[in-house]
Amino acid sequence: MNKTVPGPEDAIKDIKDGMTLMLGGFGLCGIPENCITALVKKGVKGLTCISNNAGVDDFGIGLMLKQRQVKKMISSYVGENAEFERQLLSGELEVELIPQGTLATRCLASGYGMPAIFTPAGVGTEVAEGKEVRNFNGKEYLLEYAFDADFAIVKAWKGDTHGNLIYKETARNFNPMMAMGGKITIAEVEHLVPAGELDPDHIHTPGIYVHRIFQGKNYEKRIEQRTVRKK
């Protein structure tokens, strides 16, 4: 079951204008850098992007925002991006802010084949407006629906030709459940190995969820907040 494609251009070749994409990562950590570059080059427009954050001005999803490729962002926090702010205030960009755990679990529900979840996050706030509220054991919960994404694009540390994935440290974040949640899932990895080389006990995302995989190049892995202590 060889799922390898030569590179990001081949992996994203059938992503079209107006599609909905899940993009893995938390801040700039664990983002699919190669696919984002390829999407910018391809110039697809009118995209709805489900991603915890929206990158920074000159990196990550920020690069797609700059080219006006994004119609709508579905995120939990979009703080660090001046171009994002400008497009939002001018009405060029639509944004739906949802609680981070709700975002993660709605992705998970897609990959688990469940249409919806109940969560207490947002009860009594504007997030609850227009949503069904259900009481379980004396506590209120909101009904939130699974996402319906055309493509999920994730970044892993290691992967094999069957599409099995292993993530590294906190670069795991949203990648596993987005990998599970896409109708078609593209994985870019730092190290691609033949099937059989990864220990089956160590796989985080089983290859059944992954349709295309390639070894990425020139990872920049930019750090958003470099904090250190003195020796």
Partner 1 sequence: MLDKEGIAKRIAKEVKNGYYVNLGIGIPTLVANYIPKDLDVILQSENGLLGMGPFPFEGEEDPDLINAGKQTITTLPGSAFFDSAMSFGMIRARKVDLTILGAMEVSDTGDIANWKIPGKMVKGMGGAMDLVASAKNIIVAMQHVNKAGESKLLPKCTLPLTGVKCVKKIVTELAVLDVTDKGFRLLERAPGISVEQIKNATKGKLVVEGEIPEMKID
- What does the binding site for partner 1 look like in residue numbers (CB under 8 A)? 26-30, 52, 75-79, 85, 88-89, 97, 99-105, 107-108, 119-127, 157, 167-177, 204, 221-231
**Which CB sits closer to partner 1, 21 or 56?**
56
Positive or negative CA dihedral for 70, 71, 75, 78? positive
Nearer to partner 1, 48 or 105 (CB): 105
Shortest distance (Å) from residue 156 CB to partner 1: 11
Nearest distance from C-beta of residue 162 to partner 1, angstroms: 20
Determine whether 84 is exposed, middle or buried from the number of CB atoms within 10 Å of its CB (0-12, 13-18, 19+). buried
Distances (CA, A) of 95 to 84, 103, 159, 212: 10, 14, 33, 29
**Closer Cβ to partner 1, 84 or 151, answer by number:** 84
Query: Which CB atom, from 6 or from 113, has the smaller least distance to partner 1?
Result: 113
Q: How far is the CB of 99 from partner 1 (least distance, A)?
A: 4
Phi and psi based region of residue 173 (left: phi greater than 0; alpha: psi -120 to 50; beta: remaining): left
Q: Are strands 149-160 and 165-166 parallel, antiparallel or unpaired?
A: antiparallel
Q: What minimum distance in Å lies between the beta carbon of 95 and partner 1?
A: 8
